[in-house]
Structure 1
């Protein structure tokens, strides 16, 4: 049976906040698995490294703690199927390490799919419907509330993996990824204040940027966005192990951020 590609989970009608969870899943449809060259053990190890484990639980727990429940858009397939946060014509530096919309290399820069790989079928089947659904979800928040706040929920490993392009910068407990057009200073400051209880909070290192659907990107300031990257040793056993009790503290911090920027605080 083919797993669901994604879910839009309803929040409060008057909430502008959309928690986006793109990389929490490990599921790979059988017909996609046949195009991956790793054996089962190697694939399981790769999923341990590449998956933002428990970030769907983090978003779920945070939503339950809020005074104004946010909407949640959750990817139910592994990013090894497609990475919905890449552009189909991803910039050359990510393509150079085999991590465009359809990955051809692993986190350790080993072959994942035969090259040259035809990304078209996977982009058409998975990437484009996902992007269209996220665009609709943002448009619905704009229509309902006059604004949309996309909070991208991620995690990253304590030690850099070989695929990472920028390995020399700080790796704080919480990294906030920003966009010069879509991340206003008050959103960044609200996140700094909310996550201060969880350890050091940094900006745009080791990862920068945030997700905004292309229809709104760079043209609609009513859409604000922030990426929240949690260092994995702050809440789980690496790689791919269980979550620990600190997940609850992070969920409370994320809930505080949601209520502050959503207007419920």
Structure 2
């Protein structure tokens, strides 16, 4: 049996925090590579643009620095295989640019897979097992601690790419993606304080929303979630270059957020609910 496309790295039993790292890997299995029309050089360039490079390493360093180690759920395959944070159906707005759960277009709107393309086999092989495992990870934190805090760790380019649907807005050093139901104001404020020394922190621009498994989305306020989008020029050479000294500062800031989120602050409010099924993660 083949190995899972993800890894759940245990933290402290008493930690409710899961650092979710969905877009850090570059690996594309040979069978999936066969369906991608780019030549090897073009594929490497696309991976440079689309990968949230070094975010797994930043999350690992943060886990090592945190007073109470968080759990980590890390995607081991490139988002060019499947994007676990997309809707797998017509609800996904990124279908408009060929970037649903299975991409058919590149960051520069070139052809990645020939259309019409049936995403079904890749969704069944990779997307659904990932979603089930993340659901189980959150359920495990709820059972152990009575709550779960998902911190979604991403990065984004300093200049917008053609595929971005909302790329005209501000691009602060750190963008916090929020959800009306699952992101308490106190969690957002804790993130602002943690990343204060890294520069300006903005909300929901150029990327909005956060990831919550559908089983809990919009119904279980015990699950809090926040997306952290780090602008890549803070810590690496774009696109696809090595990490620089800024990565250590960001890891320390993320550790501070983990510690704050791991404590149950007095007065954490329950966010106002809203209707509808699903989770919102916009073009990350």
Equivalence map 1:82-161=2 (5 Å): 82-91=82-91, 93-161=93-161
When residues 164 and 39 of structure 1 are mapped into structure 2, their CA distance, relative to the original with a 3 A threshold, is same
Question: 2:16, 2:142 within 8 Å by CA — same for their partners in 1?
Answer: yes
Q: Is residue 2:231 matched to residue 1:231?
A: yes
Report Cα offsets for 1:185-241 as digits up to 9, x if no partner.
Answer: 000000000001001100000000000000000000000000000000000000000
In the superposition, relative to structure 1, how do residues 90 and 43 fare at CA in structure 2: closer, same or farther (>3 Å)? same
Which residue is 1:204 aligned to? 204
Q: Which residue of 2 aligns with 1:60?
A: 60
8 Å Cα contact 1:27/1:77 also seen in 2 = yes
1:67 and 1:264 in contact (8 A); partners too: no
User: How big is each residue's C-alpha offset from its partner over 1:80-101, in whole Å with a ceiling of 9 and x where there is no partner?
Assistant: 0000000111535310100000
* 1:92-130 deviation digits (Å, cap 9, x = unpaired): 531010000000000000000010110000000000000
- How much does 1:167 deviate? 1.7
Structure 1 unpaired stretches of 5+: none
Supply the RMSD in Å over aligned alpha carbons: 1.4
Q: Where does residue 30 of structure 2 map in the other structure?
A: 30
Q: Which residue of 2 aligns with 1:176?
A: 176
Q: Equivalents in 1 of 2:147, 2:70: separation in Å?
A: 13
- Matches of 1:82 and 1:235 in 2, distance apart? 26
Q: How far is 1:261 from its partner?
A: 1.0
Query: What is the alpha-carbon distance in structure 1 between the residues aligned to residue 93 and residue 86 of structure 2?
Result: 12
Q: Which runs of 5+ in 2 are unaligned?
A: 266-284
Q: Please state how far the C-alpha of 1:2 moved relative to its aligned partner.
A: 6.5
Question: Aligned partners of 2:218, 2:36: CA distance in 1, in Å?
Answer: 35
Number of equivalences? 265
- TM-score, length of structure 2 as denominator length: 0.91
TM-score, normalised on structure 1?
Answer: 0.98
CA contact (8 A) 1:37 1:114 kept: yes
Identify the residue that residue 39 of structure 2 maps to in structure 1: 39
CA contact (8 A) 1:3 1:77 kept: no
The answer (yes or no) to whether the contact 1:157–1:232 under 8 Å persists in 2 is yes
